[in-house]
Chains A and B, each alone.
Chain A
Amino acid sequence: QVQLVQSGAEVKKPGASVRVSCKASGYTFSTYAIHWVRQAPGQGLEWMGWISTDTGKTGYSQKFQGKVILTSDTSATTAYMEVRSLKSEDTAVYYCARGPPFDPWGQGTLVTVSS
C-alpha cells in the first residue's frame, strides 16, 4: 500500500539545523510531489512547501522561504526537509504528504528546539 514513513523525533539546540526524511513506498515516487506541513503544539496545520520528485522544482510559503530547504532522492524514494537556524518557535510536528491532494501523510516527526 502507499505509505510515507518519516524519520524519528529530534531534539535540537537553538541555532542548529535539522533534517527530516520521508521514505515513500507502494507507488512510483517520481509521479507525485511531496509537500511538507508543520503543526505547532496545540495549533493548526501550516503548509510549508513542496518539491517535485520528478524535476526537483520547489515552492515555498513566503514564511519558510530561506528557512527551509526541500530535496529528494529518486533512487532512495525519499524526500528530505532541512530547517535551518532553529528557534524555540520551530518546535512542532512536521509532516510530509504526497499530493496534491495531500494523501497519504507520513506519521509526523516531532522536532523539539530547546537549550
Chain B
Amino acid sequence: DTGVSQDPRHKITKRGQNVTFRCDPISEHNRLYWYRQTLGQGPEFLTYFQNEAQLEKSRLLSDRFSAERPKGSFSTLEIQRTEQGDSAMYLCASSFRGAEKLFFGSGTQLSVL
C-alpha cells in the first residue's frame, strides 16, 4: 500500500494559464474523489469517479474545471483560464466502493498570481 500520491505538490501559475494535476489512487480502490481546501476551511467536495465513470459533480466545479479518469486508475484535474480565486489545496482521495474510509493524498497547492 503506497498510499494516494499527487503531483505536483506545489504549482504556481499566472492568471489565465491552464494547469493540470494528477492523482494516483491506491491501486485496488475503484472510487476516486477530488476535494478543494482553502486556508482555514475544511475540504469541499468537487467530484468523484467510480472506475472510469464520473458519477457526481459539485456546483463548485465550474465549466473551467474538468476531471478525467480514463482507465479507471489515475485521474487528472484540469483548470482552464485560472483565476486568483482558484488558489487552494486540491486534494485527492480514494476508497473501495461501499467503504466509508477515504484515503487522502497530501494535495497539490495551487497559487494563482
Question: Is B one of A's binding partners?
Answer: no
Interface, chain A (partner B; CB < 8 A):
none
